[in-house]
Amino acid sequence: MDATAPDTPPATLLPCPQCDLVLSVSDPAPGEWVRCPRCGHPLARHTVHDQTSPALAVTALILLTLSLIFPYIRFEKNGVGEQMGLLDAATELAAFHHPALAVVVFATIVVMPACFLAALLWVHASLRHTRKPDAAPLPGTAALVRALPRWQPWMMADVFAIAALVSLIKIAGMAEVVLKPGFWAFTGFALALLITVQRLHPLALWARLAGPPLAPPGARAGRTALAQGLVGCEQCGQLQPLAGPRHCQRCGARLHRRQPASLQRTWALLVAATLCCFPAHLYPIMVTTSLGHTQPATIVSGVLQFIQHGDWPIALIIFAASVLVPFGKIMALAWLCLAARRDRALDMAAQMRLYRITEWVGRWSMIDVFVVAIVVALVRLGNLLSIAPGPGGVAFAAVVVLTMLAAFSFDPRLIWDRQNADPDPATQRDDDDLDTLPRHS
């Protein structure tokens, strides 16, 4: 490959990571997104080299620290009170012999976000450092930029914040609940983290770290990378010959023609998730003790309790997040796996929509797991009133994690590979149409 020859003009050819079509992309105007005309995937947006992202990351880290120091919620009944800190949401689960659940909760709301924000600050410090003449990026920068998008879906501070609201409604009828400073600090942290994540654009980070992506001579827009004997780096977008090195010459990521054993891994994870659905729904997710009387509650009976109390919106949220989404996700991914093996193309837009919804919605199923973590840590008044986690919670967290892994294992380009072989001209797009990209505000 001769992509770095000095007489090669800096090409802005990028492969779409979701349908493999090579596109000619120029820097969009402020407020605009460039989307793939074939599958609608957002490829590039206007980026400003501002300091907002590092400032937001510092704010989020300070708010996270405050939410760990100050108490989160106080709970009072008949003059007896108990308050919980954010860490209690994990440590109480561990105390009830659910260490795996405790690790999942602690990792997704504290460890992953803290690592993500620290990594982002390191990357921005490295970008500042490279402004000096002949200065190399700080050590580990490339590995961190590769890791940032992978960590993103596993940070669930926003899901935990919504779960806290659901928990408040659940226990408000039992006793008096007081929101403490840690609650407001964590809500602010979840918001700052959400905005920081929205602003993350790995392709722009690579452009600043390694210059614009250079395509091999002969590469052209309007055909898939695979059809041109090329492979697109999934991390930085650089096109490289299929027969070339196994690692990206620009960012060092491992190159894959398609995700290895994508369909087999997706099927295996879906089968495991389906098996976990049985204990998740058959065993109680929490056990309430009130005045010595013990009452176990499964996910579905928890939804029915909300309906009995007239809390229809919360019942709908929990039903959607805990029942509809996991089952819908398993069925949608199974259908996509079957569709990827079909020679005749189906409705491509519908399939891509289904894939993106499946990929986006999965983490919201963690709401019920977080509700259990919060109420178990908060309602600890012994025989008067206490709530313990049930074995269903661990199985349900496993369903959520396995379906998320299944969605990430599925390579959407496999659906499009079949369409390329489709002889029906009605499903083929004119190559020349694809050289010009629509822009969306």
Should residue 43 be labelled a site residue for Zn ion when binding is judged by CB under 5 A?
A: no
Q: How many residues bind Zn ion (CB under 5 A)?
A: 15
Q: How far is the CB of 249 from Zn ion (least distance, A)?
A: 8
Q: Which is nearer to Zn ion, 97 or 353 (CB)?
A: 353
Q: Which is nearer to Zn ion, 17 or 113 (CB)?
A: 17
Stretch that binds Zn ion, among 245-253, 351-359, 397-405, 406-414 (CB under 5 A): 245-253
Should residue 23 be labelled a site residue for Zn ion when binding is judged by CB under 5 A?
A: no
Q: How far is the CB of 125 from Zn ion (least distance, A)?
A: 22
Stretch that binds Zn ion, among 8-16, 82-90, 128-136, 310-318 (CB under 5 A): 8-16
Q: How far is the CB of 25 from Zn ion (least distance, A)?
A: 12
Q: Which is nearer to Zn ion, 149 or 328 (CB)?
A: 149
Is 120 in contact with 148 (CB distance < 8 Å)?
yes
Should residue 145 be labelled a site residue for Zn ion when binding is judged by CB under 5 A?
A: no
Q: Give the CA distances from residue 88 to residues 69, 73, 200, 374, in Å, rounded to whole numbers and listed in that order.
A: 12, 11, 31, 8
Q: Tokens for 155?
A: 């940070």
- Radius of gyration for the alpha carbons in the chain, expressed in angstroms and rounded: 24
Q: How far is the CB of 190 from Zn ion (least distance, A)?
A: 31
Give me the sign of the Cα torsion angle 380, 386, 392, 393: negative
Helix (H, G, I), strand (E, B) or coil at 48: coil
Q: How far is the CB of 414 from Zn ion (least distance, A)?
A: 13
Q: Which is nearer to Zn ion, 250 or 380 (CB)?
A: 250
The residues facing 274 across adjacent strands are none
Pairing of the two strands 33-35 and 22-24: unpaired
Stretch that binds Zn ion, among 89-97, 136-144, 222-230, 243-251 (CB under 5 A): 243-251
Q: Give the CA distances from residue 73 to residues 82, 154, 248, 336, 436, in Å, rounded to whole numbers and listed in that order.
A: 9, 25, 49, 43, 54
Should residue 250 be labelled a site residue for Zn ion when binding is judged by CB under 5 A?
A: yes
Stretch that binds Zn ion, among 190-198, 233-241, 367-375, 407-415 (CB under 5 A): 233-241
The residues facing 294 across adjacent strands are 289
Stretch that binds Zn ion, among 68-76, 151-159, 238-246, 308-316 (CB under 5 A): 238-246
Q: Which of 73, 233, 330, 340 binds Zn ion (CB under 5 A)?
A: 233
Helices (H), 96-151: 99-106, 112-129, 141-151
Should residue 39 be labelled a site residue for Zn ion when binding is judged by CB under 5 A?
A: yes
Other CB atoms within 10 A of residue 119 CB = 19
Give the integer Cα–Cα distance in Å for 397 and 164.
Answer: 17
Q: Which is nearer to Zn ion, 39 or 171 (CB)?
A: 39
Stretch that binds Zn ion, among 6-14, 80-88, 232-240, 375-383 (CB under 5 A): 232-240
Should residue 36 be labelled a site residue for Zn ion when binding is judged by CB under 5 A?
A: yes
Should residue 41 be labelled a site residue for Zn ion when binding is judged by CB under 5 A?
A: yes
Give the integer Cα–Cα distance in Å for 139 and 214.
Answer: 24
Q: Which is nearer to Zn ion, 238 or 298 (CB)?
A: 238
Q: Give the CA distances from residue 287 to residues 40, 120, 283, 296, 302, in Å, rounded to whole numbers and listed in that order.
A: 46, 41, 10, 4, 11
Other CB atoms within 10 A of residue 154 CB = 16
Give the integer Cα–Cα distance in Å for 434 and 36.
Answer: 9
Q: Which of 224, 235, 240, 298 binds Zn ion (CB under 5 A)?
A: 235
The residue ranges that bind Zn ion (CB under 5 A) are 16, 18-19, 36, 38-39, 41, 233, 235-236, 238, 248, 250-251, 253
